[in-house]
Amino acid sequence: MPYLQRIDDRRSYSNFGPLVTELEARLAQRMGVDPGCVVTVANGTVGLTLALQAVVESSAGYCLIPSWTFVATAHAVSGAGLTPFLVDVDEGSWALTPDIARDALSRIDGPVAAVMPVAPFGAPLDVDAWDRFTEQTGIPVVIDAAAGHDAVRPGSSPAVVSLHATKILGAGEGGYVVCRRPAAITEIRQRSNFGFYGSRDARMVGTNAKMSEYHAAVGLAAMDAYSNDVSGYRAVAEAYRQRLSRRQQIGFQAGFGSAWCGSVCVARFFGADQARLMARLEAVGISSRAWWGAGVHLQTAFAGLPHLPLPVTEMLARETLGLPYFVDMTDTDVERVCRIIEHAF
């Protein structure tokens, strides 16, 4: 309420008003960069598109993305005028790595304009390794860290975080881009504001992707509540891990709920069939989610995209499942979910 009150007091409702500016400054401080290294956006998807437009040299060609991601990654690439080229992920980290990208480059015919690795369900990526990748290949990288607010680290490539209501820091809708190169952030800011920057001359092609003051108010309130929320999530993650990790057939992402925290809990059930497990949970009224479906290559709109073999993506799509996970979930709730899962095995 105090944040909302400030909006009417100042009569400033959008266009990089005081609350958006404060949110950007607080995000920058949290990540240890200057405020000029962070810009808020209306949502993560448009942030990814604008970041790509800011770093690519040509507005045509392929952008390598993992097929193991949410479909927004592919939409964002298409929005920037590039063609998503789908590659596989590493089985240990569930992420597209620089080594996988280098191998793909040697096998792909045609110009690769950019690479967009994805921080899977918020797990941190090796930002330094991606910076080295760009130095060595000359190919720009934009990191899709949509779920990665907790663990995102600024590098020379723009990283885009979503502030959607489902994320660990939620503003309803929203997002931000962080990059150690302020020039890239200035360009993204300009593209998010009709190409305007300091005048009413559209100096480049852009759109309206600004965050409103209302969303910034919710984002600021969410930042105030953040450490409390994260403690709640970590406790639930710990309860799941303690209960399920003794079984060799069940695994979690490395560092999940301890080194980093996300707002979803995706477990891998080695050798299991996700659909069967999902049905067993549903039968007793417990919802679960295949957050990323069967991979982007099997989404109707993207079925015709070029891709390399995707065995790890297909395995993860079969063997992983998003379990119920919310900030005030009780030990009894966790126990109930785990009992059904163990029974299903």
Ligand X SMILES: Cc1ncc(COP(=O)(O)O)c(C=O)c1O
Chain residues in the site for ligand X (CB under 6 A): 43-45, 69-70, 72-73, 118, 144, 146-147, 162, 164, 175
Nearer to ligand X, 313 or 334 (CB): 313
Residue 267 belongs to what H/E stretch?
A: strand 265-269
Closer to ligand X by Cβ: residue 139 or 177: 177
Looking at beta carbons only, is 149 or 243 nearer to ligand X? 149
Q: How far is the CB of 10 from ligand X (least distance, A)?
A: 26
Nearer to ligand X, 43 or 192 (CB): 43
CB of 151 to ligand X, least distance (A): 14
**Is the CB of 121 or the CB of 133 nearer to ligand X?**
121
CB of 178 to ligand X, least distance (A): 15
| Separation between Cα atoms, residue 29 and residue 300, nearest integer Å | 41
Distance (Å, rounded) from C-alpha 55 to C-alpha 143? 12
DSSP class of 168: S
- For the CB of residue 50, give the shortest distance to ligand X in the complex, in Å: 12
Taking 3-state DSSP, the helix, strand and coil percentages for the chain, each rounded to the nearest 5, stand at 45, 15, 45
Report, in Å, the least distance between residue 335 CB and ligand X.
28
Contacts of 212-215 spanning 24+ positions with Cβ under 8 A? 212/13, 212/14, 212/20, 212/42, 213/7, 213/12, 213/13, 213/14, 213/17, 213/18, 213/19, 213/20, 214/4, 214/7, 214/13, 215/42, 215/163, 215/171, 215/172, 215/173, 215/174
Reference 286, options 229, 228, 343; nearest CA is 343
Nearer of residues 51 and 236 to ligand X, judged by Cβ: 51
Residue with smallest beta-carbon separation from ligand X: 44
3-state secondary structure of 162: strand
Minimal distance, residue 106 CB to ligand X, in Å: 26
